[in-house]
Amino acid sequence: MSEETWHGIPRSKIPWYPTIDYKKCVSCEKCVDYCKLGAFSFDENKRPVVKKPYNCVVLCKGCQDICPSGAIFHPSRKKTVDIIRKIAKKQRIKFLLGGN
Ligand code: SF4
Ligand code: SF4
């Protein structure tokens, strides 16, 4: 599944997606199995990669929470919410977002 907009905002303008720290990754494949949105897949060396970053659900951190070696991280939620608010203001979109 791939959403092109999120609450009317082009998804590609929202910089929210996981990044893998390969120094910590133990290639357990849990993130690939866990994300039902298909953000991850494998590269030619069977290493997990964030193939479809914009499939990531905005503000979800599920894979980060289940990664056994702390190899996945996301941007700051607060900074992302600020970015979303700015875009929404520009586009005159109204919706509620939590504080941090
Ligand atoms: S869950 Fe973490 S350690 Fe396992 S493959 Fe994914 S990034 Fe690597
Ligand atoms: S944060 Fe959630 S939606 Fe995004 S890649 Fe991880 S499990 Fe998938």
CATH number of the domain residue 40 falls in: 3.30.70.20
Residue 99 lies in a domain: no
Contact call for residues 2 and 55 (beta carbons, < 8 A) = yes
15-30 pLDDT, tens digit per residue, is 999 999 999 999 999 9
Q: Please tell me if the CB atom of residue 18 comes closer than 6 angstroms to any atom of ligand 1.
A: no
Q: To 5 degrees, how large is the angle CA 89–CA 52–CA 47? A: 140
The answer to whether residue 97 is domain-embedded is no
**Does residue 36 belong to any structural domain of this protein?**
yes
Separation of CA 74 and ligand 2 centre (Å): 10
The model's pLDDT over 18-74, given as tens digits with 9 standing for 90+, comes to: 999 999 999 999 999 999 999 999 999 999 999 999 999 999 999 999 999 999 999
Residue 19 CA, ligand 1 centroid: distance in Å: 11
Instruction: Please name the helix (run of DSSP H) or strand (run of DSSP E) that holds residue 65, with its range, or none.
Output: helix 62-66
Tally the domains of the chain. Answer: 1
Instruction: Give the 3-state secondary structure of residue 71.
Output: coil
CB of 62 closer than 6 angstroms to any ligand 2 atom: yes
Q: Which domain does 59 fall in, by range?
A: 5-90
In a domain, 42, yes or no: yes
Reported pTM: 0.89
In a domain, 15, yes or no: yes
